[in-house]
Amino acid sequence: MTLTTILLIIILLMMALLVWTIQRIQLQNKALLESERDIAQIKNDMLEKEAGFQQRLDKDIKEAQKRSNNMQRNVLKGQIGEQFTPFITDFPYNPSDCRFMGEPIDYVIFQNLHECADGNVPIEDVHLIIAEVKTGNARLNQRQKIIKQVIENGQVSFKELRIGYCEDTEVMRVQVNWRES
């Protein structure tokens, strides 16, 4: 083989190697372009899902705020209603016999107390009523249920508390009259 032939073979091999390298680069470029398209599609999908999520979140927040506002209004209406209950037209007791407490129960009603004190009704017509005002679907809470049960069990008494003051020590003490009345 001559030097020219060897050089020609080397040049052909180099050209073949160059063509092979170019084909490899083109394949890598094609794969890279496909990957970039896939990434762009994934980003686009994520943006669409994020926009949908944001819309749902905004809608859910607005609905939650609306529910919260309605609940606050209902609580406020209930609290106002509790305080004005004795002044509703068909309220069965004399408003002057009612004492609002609000917590744990709404009212202590001294039915006919004023009438009895004025001598207009006998003491047998006087009743002590523990009343809780509810609106809508509201239910008694646990403390109110306990108070109801205590009353139904007859676990009710009257205690007279007297404050004693010692002038020498300037100490105040509470004395309980334990006699059942």
Q: How far is CA 50 from CA 10, 32, 39, 45, 115, in A?
A: 58, 26, 16, 8, 71
Cβ neighbours of 147 (radius 10 Å): 17
Q: Give a yes or no: residue 103 inside a domain.
A: yes
- In degrees and rounded to multiples of 5, residue 121 shows phi and psi of -135, 155
Q: Give a yes or no: residue 69 inside a domain.
A: no
Report how far residue 115's alpha carbon sits from residue 130's, in angstroms, rounded to the nearest whole number.
19
Predicted confidence (pLDDT) per residue in 11-38, tens digit: 999 999 999 999 999 999 999 999 999 9
Q: Give a yes or no: residue 102 inside a domain.
A: yes
Output the pLDDT for position 91.
93
The segment with the largest mean pLDDT, out of 7-11, 135-139, 163-167, is 7-11
Sequence-ordered strand ranges (E) for the chain: 98-100, 107-111, 127-131, 160-166, 171-177
Q: Give a yes or no: residue 67 inside a domain.
A: no
The total domain count for the chain is 1
Predicted confidence (pLDDT) per residue in 42-56, tens digit: 999 999 999 999 999
Q: Give a yes or no: residue 172 inside a domain.
A: no
Which comes out higher in pLDDT, residue 181 or 103?
Answer: 103
Q: Which of 67, 74, 72 is nearest to 134 (CA)?
A: 74
Residue 181 has pLDDT above 50, yes or no: no
Containing domain of residue 115, as a range?
Answer: 88-156
Q: How far is CA 112 from CA 15, 84, 98, 148, 164, in A?
A: 118, 19, 10, 22, 32
Output the pLDDT for position 178.
58
Predicted confidence (pLDDT) per residue in 64-112, tens digit: 999 999 888 888 888 888 889 999 999 999 999 999 998 999 999 999 9
Output the pLDDT for position 155.
94
Q: Give a yes or no: residue 100 inside a domain.
A: yes
Q: Compute the mean pLDDT over every residue in the chain, rounded to the nearest whole number.
A: 90
Q: Give a yes or no: residue 142 inside a domain.
A: yes
Residue 162 has pLDDT above 90, yes or no: no
Q: Give a yes or no: residue 47 inside a domain.
A: no
